[in-house]
Structure 1
């Protein structure tokens, strides 16, 4: 394993509701100068291969993307994994074990997990993409600081849509999806510094939700974000980003 990922933080998305964790990682990957380290073993994922994605207006890179790719930005001290295919049913435990072995052997200084669930889990309306965060055995002062970092603006602060998840197994399992809660508990057992962020969202055009979550990740990790996310080429023509067709030549659905 290359030394350039050692002692970096690892950002890891789950395959969850509306794919917002993956979309969030897409934005971070294409906004900052990440380089691909290698493809990871994707034996337990559905097969996947595609041309390498790139930011709008950038040159098409050579090579291909796989179901599980590892990237690093040494300037930020941040590594990330983009998972582009779900785990094959009945192989979740195998994948979990494989992922834990990789994390343990890579000497990351912190692991940040991204997750998402349906908005219906919280009931009522609490602003766009309200979140909950797990931060391990943090002090009350540290947790207060985390909540301030996750607040986008004063109006959101008044609604208080962000909350802290207690460092208790029952609450961790109740808050996060099975995949993420099991990772949190395993990382905690191995005494690996861990944070987990979950967003509550509706299905639909989820690019705005991804940008909100990416903004919260940027604050959480103190990334030098200038306010404009670079979207990948693969987003072109989806998520409401293309013109509505005006003639039958465009086809019934454009």
Structure 2
């Protein structure tokens, strides 16, 4: 499934894998874009899979004219050995009924690669929040049992709020409680598989609505940065959406909402 760019498969044991869920507002994918662009991570390989809609395009992180022609595809892997970080970027949607097989193959690769932990960046429909969630922070986290012992104290020190469980059948109050993430794409599947396969995994998500989700992505990477300290953190009170943000906007975001209206229309 994983195909390295070089002749040999890189040793990623002990690394932290960051990946998005294709979810509402594409917030996880935008957040991974920011991380790859800011850290100038190098592409080390890609996933050869029939689970994602095939796509191909130019280099989304081009910084000069000579590297714009480098091609990118639907699932690529980037690395920064100095910080022991690996980022998987997903750029297309799943083919019907193929999302669960993809999650199973992905987590098998994670297990065989002896990753230290997996962090899934995701989002959920803000319109599905309950009263408690409406009155609190829009960010939530989830931890699988395999990672709780190692990171729970750190998470507690950040005063983060865990994703609440809700009845599996909302109309029946005494039904079994479970994690529900409306609009979260593969987030629930990854979390459930991570629990059953004993994968050290954390899910970080934000309640959002469709629209201009760049501020949501900036907020999510700042949320992640509180924990991992990927870059120098903002001073308290800083606005992550300001132009002084330390996160580097990828060149491909210039066309995030299309190329504009043709002047010939006027």
Once the two structures are superposed, the pairs formed by residues 72-87 of structure 1 within 5 Å of their partners are 72-87=79-94
Report the Cα distance in structure 1 between the residues aligned to 2:118 and 2:211, rounded to whole angstroms.
29
Query: Is 1:164–2:158 an aligned residue pair?
Result: no
Contact 2:124 2:181 in 1 (8 A): no
Report the Cα distance in structure 1 between the residues aligned to 2:99 and 2:185, rounded to whole angstroms.
10
- Superposition RMSD on alpha carbons, in Å? 3.0
Q: Could you tell me which runs of 5 or more consecutive residues in structure 2 were left unpaired when the two chains were aligned.
A: 1-7, 169-175, 234-244
CA deviation string 1:156-185 (max 9, x = no partner): xxxxxx521369996653246362122112
Q: Could you tell me which runs of 5 or more consecutive residues in structure 1 were left unpaired when the two chains were aligned.
A: 148-161
Report the Cα distance in structure 2 between the residues aligned to 1:173 and 1:130, rounded to whole angstroms.
16
Query: Is 1:249–2:263 an aligned residue pair?
Result: yes
1:237 Cα offset (Å): 3.8
- Would you say how many aligned residue pairs link Structure 1 and Structure 2? 233
CA deviation string 1:107-129 (max 9, x = no partner): 110000111112112257558x8
Report the Cα distance in structure 2 between the residues aligned to 1:234 and 1:178, rounded to whole angstroms.
24
What residue in structure 2 maps to residue 135 of structure 1?
143
1:77 Cα offset (Å): 0.8
Query: Is 1:209–2:216 an aligned residue pair?
Result: yes
Report the Cα distance in structure 1 between the residues aligned to 2:156 and 2:257, rounded to whole angstroms.
34
Contact 2:16 2:119 in 1 (8 A): yes
Q: 143, 167, 174: which one pairs with 2:180?
A: 174
1:12 Cα offset (Å): 1.1
TM-score (structure 1 length as normaliser): 0.79
Contact 2:52 2:94 in 1 (8 A): yes
Query: Is 1:110–2:112 an aligned residue pair?
Result: no
